[in-house]
Structure 1
Amino acid sequence: MSDAQYTLPKTNSGPWNTRPFHRQWLMRQANNLFDFFEAASLNPKGGFFELDDAGKPLDGANSTRQIHGTTRMVHCAAIGSLIGRPGSGEILDHGMQYIWNQHRDTRRGGYVWSLDNGGVKDGSKQAYGHAFVLLAASSAKLVGHPLADQMLADVTEVINTRFWDASRGAVKDEYTSDWSKLLPYRGQNANMHMTEALMAAFEATGNKDYLTKAEAIAKLIIAEHAASLGYRVAEHFDENWVLDKNYLGNEMFRPAGTTPGHWLEWARLLIQLWVLGEKRLHWLTDAARHLFRAAIDLGWDKVHGGFFYTLDWDNKPVMREKLWWPLAEGIGAASFLTSYDRDDYFQIWYRKLWDFADNHMIDHARGGWLSELKEDLTPTSRLFVGKPDIYHALQACLIPLYPANGSLTKGIIEADHTAKIAH
């Protein structure tokens, strides 16, 4: 019997995230991730190390620090602080200082892509990176970090004046370090993460301009483009937002074809956007369901399990590796959809994805999640070396534990407020 036809019996129909054992298991997995990443990642010269499979720095003492790595660690440390994880405050402050004092370009404005111990390594100004600065500042504001407000104001001004294209309702992708040249490429990935960050900024400040921008991006990327493509999310466009199906880019950040993991990520973000927008944009929930089902129907390996990394435009797998982050995003999306849809399909897949994670992706011996598996599920490192970050896996573990009323940080705060009232 196929998963689409299968229904849960009444004896086993309750969502897993309501069950005490599952909730304890999720928090234990989250704590294991913190144990693996936090102390080992901290670079005494600023920023954070990338870690190998055993939890050791990948590049030694002069490790390159890319802005998304720094900011994601800050975001996760803020989550740790909100749930009461000792040590998270020091990690958060360490990262915030590095963003403000090193990634920030004090002379020309904006935030540079990467640094090492010698200074700037890649000075390009990328919307993808600035989205994560906005996310980090928003999360840091929720825990009261003293740099949060000025960083939030600074990065918001940069996004508004440099990246935001009001005529398209989306952000432009990349400038040279001195802002003198704007590359013609336009991509959904930077815009997807900008949507995530804009929602976090709205939650942190109450400023509806952030939410309006997030809704505009979702309309362009999903309602205008993905919906017309059978809810396959188009990744790559030219400067006029014309789809470029022949684009060949970076395998890690801009792979050719389509990436089912992003369909899953958008599914969760759309439900989040619907809730934050007072549930007035009904197309968002319908699109979220279609995106999730399309990712399962086209992206899930029916033989071995796991999501293929990329598909071509004939829906055939191209990069057949199974990465950790699409699996994590699928879990988060299934959790959000289960909160608002009674169709057993989403709960069935929530369980199936955690089964796969526990059996194949979680590294029970050394900690963290394996970043990459071959098609037959044996570990490999063709695309990603080591264990790149805590961000995706941590959110997969914690999202199901908190109300699906916005971002994870908002859910934690609301749950804490409810607990205080109950006492």
Structure 2
Amino acid sequence: MSSATSPLDTEWLARETGRLLDFGRDFAHPLGGAAWLRSDGTPDLGRPVYAWITARMAHVYSVADLLGVPGAGPLADAALAGLTGVLHDKRRGGWHPSVAPDGVPATGKSCYDHAFVVLAAASGTLARRPGARELLTEAVDTMVRRFWEPEAAMFADEWDSGWQRLDGYRGLNANMHAVEAMLAAFDATGDRECRERALAITERAAGWGRAHGWRLPEHYDSRWQPRLDYHRERPQDPFKPFGATVGHALEWSRLILHVEAAFGSAAPDWLLPAAEALFGQAVADGWAVDGAPGFVYTTDWDGTPVVRQRMHWVAAEAIAAAATLYRRTGTPDYAEWYKIWSDYVRGHFVDMEQGSWWHELDTQNRPAATTWPGKPDLYHAVQAMLIPRAPLAPGLAAACASGAVR
């Protein structure tokens, strides 16, 4: 590929950040926390209040507050109030995965949800939002005490509501977001154990990637043995799909570089090669492989596409990964990929009429809703607009707090 202008020279990033943040301003749910947003940005009050959406919106608007966006602070507070209020299990500790419109909590306690609570609380702490530091202390303690498995150096996936029965499933998705959460907690607290956990998880993930041709197994048993056929009958599952998830390989490639940067000169030398290998295989397997631009959602273990729908979060992570690798290496190919995918997003995902991005497109790049109806939250899209403007370390909220995001 030819050389290209640095991703940091694009004005679209800042402009689109503001447009996305404007779209999400009506997220507040009457029960507390964040509602699922419809395609026009109105709250869908018939759906539950989800912990992961609420935490993501708390994170996004805390970061926006650090950027000086008018009105972002109170919006962050509204989302954080959902995490300290309706979604918080005050009797047994931890956070409910969701609360139905009638106020009844869903069962179980999920590491995925708790990782986002840590991220939200860390960003809120750096933004000096009321109650965020206390929330962060409790969230990190709960996550480590309940989910961390020291011998595996990984987080388990799901407990029952009363912390009595640990499910036998283990998953890489929750651990990927745990890496992000632990780095954010390190930024907010200086706790080096959080940073060490992020590296330990990353080392295991890279090892599995290396052993499987850089197609990352997502699903494991209780002994952390890969379950390569898991959910073969449910390939479009929104959180646990069958096969290799192209977007997660891209996301891991970026997170690996954040881990490397967090450790500085003490970082292991395998991190950059692992990031580049995951990125390269994901692009080869996923980008425009079926006659139309866009990333397929998942592939089989030989790289054959399984689910061909285009998810907005995959394109968002591709933009962020390309920009991050360009910043780390200076290799022009990564800047060129950034430009290609930014143009693709602007041409297909960005909804200039109603706002935000379509969350899913079909194989012909038309809006679809097979897996993701509506436009539930802003997390992936906003981060894709900010990460190319940020240093590799510290993390996004800390970089915004220091004025390092341009």
TM superposition score normalised by structure 1: 0.92
Q: What is the 5 A alignment of 1:311-326?
A: 311-326=299-314
Percent of aligned pairs sharing the same letter: 35
Could you say which residue in structure 1 is the equivalent of 2:345? Answer: 357
Could you say which residue in structure 1 is the equivalent of 2:364? Answer: 376
165-174 or 282-291, which moves further after superposition? 282-291
C-alpha distance in structure 2 between counterparts of 1:71 and 1:380, whole Å: 25
Match of 1:408 among 391, 396, 402: 396
TM-superposed deviation, 1:27:
0.9
Corresponding letter in the other structure for 1:131: A
TM-superposed deviation, 1:217:
0.5
Q: What is the 5 A alignment of 1:175-254?
A: 175-222=159-206, 224-248=207-231, 251-254=237-240
TM-superposed deviation, 1:57:
2.4
Does 2:259 correspond to 1:273? yes
Does 2:91 correspond to 1:113? no
TM-superposed deviation, 1:53:
1.3
Could you say which residue in structure 2 is the equivalent of 1:301? Answer: 288
Could you say which residue in structure 2 is the equivalent of 1:290? Answer: 277
Q: Gaps spanning 5+ residues in structure 2: where?
A: none
For 1:252, what is the secondary structure of its paired residue? coil
For 1:318, what is the secondary structure of its paired residue? strand
Match of 1:87 among 27, 48, 71: 71
Corresponding letter in the other structure for 2:384: A
Does 2:112 correspond to 1:128? yes
Q: Is the CA contact (8 Å cut-off) linking 2:49 and 2:101 kept in structure 1?
A: no
Could you say which residue in structure 2 is the equivalent of 1:7? Answer: 2
Q: Is the CA contact (8 Å cut-off) linking 2:247 and 2:313 kept in structure 1?
A: yes
C-alpha distance in structure 2 between counterparts of 1:314 and 1:278, whole Å: 35
Could you say which residue in structure 2 is the equivalent of 1:338? Answer: 326
Q: Is the CA contact (8 Å cut-off) linking 1:112 and 1:120 kept in structure 2?
A: no
C-alpha distance in structure 2 between counterparts of 1:160 and 1:246, whole Å: 29
Could you say which residue in structure 1 is the equivalent of 2:335? Answer: 347
C-alpha distance in structure 1 between counterparts of 2:94 and 2:401, whole Å: 30
Q: Is the CA contact (8 Å cut-off) linking 1:41 and 1:50 kept in structure 2?
A: yes
Q: Gaps spanning 5+ residues in structure 1: where?
A: 1-5
Q: Deviations over 1:144-175 (max 9, x none)?
A: 12311211111122112110000000000001
Match of 1:34 among 13, 18, 21: 21
Q: Deviations over 1:43-79 (max 9, x none)?
A: 2331122122122223x3x431110000000000111
Q: Deviations over 1:298-357 (max 9, x none)?
A: 111242111100111121111110000010001111111111112221111000000100
C-alpha distance in structure 2 between counterparts of 1:31 and 1:160, whole Å: 35
TM superposition score normalised by structure 2: 0.96
Q: Is the CA contact (8 Å cut-off) linking 2:100 and 2:106 kept in structure 1?
A: no
Q: Deviations over 1:210-236 (max 9, x none)?
A: 0011111111112x2011111111100
For 1:103, what is the secondary structure of its paired residue? coil
294-303 or 164-173, which moves further after superposition? 294-303
Does 2:246 correspond to 1:263? no
C-alpha distance in structure 2 between counterparts of 1:394 and 1:238, whole Å: 34
For 1:111, what is the secondary structure of its paired residue? coil
For 2:29, what is the secondary structure of its paired residue? coil
TM-superposed deviation, 1:123:
2.7
Could you say which residue in structure 1 is the equivalent of 2:375? Answer: 387
RMSD: 1.5
Could you say which residue in structure 2 is the equivalent of 1:3? Answer: none
Q: Is the CA contact (8 Å cut-off) linking 2:34 and 2:82 kept in structure 1?
A: no
Corresponding letter in the other structure for 1:285: L
Q: Is the CA contact (8 Å cut-off) linking 2:31 and 2:86 kept in structure 1?
A: no
Corresponding letter in the other structure for 2:360: E
For 2:280, what is the secondary structure of its paired residue? helix
Could you say which residue in structure 1 is the equivalent of 2:145? Answer: 161
Q: Is the CA contact (8 Å cut-off) linking 1:308 and 1:322 kept in structure 2?
A: yes
Corresponding letter in the other structure for 2:6: P
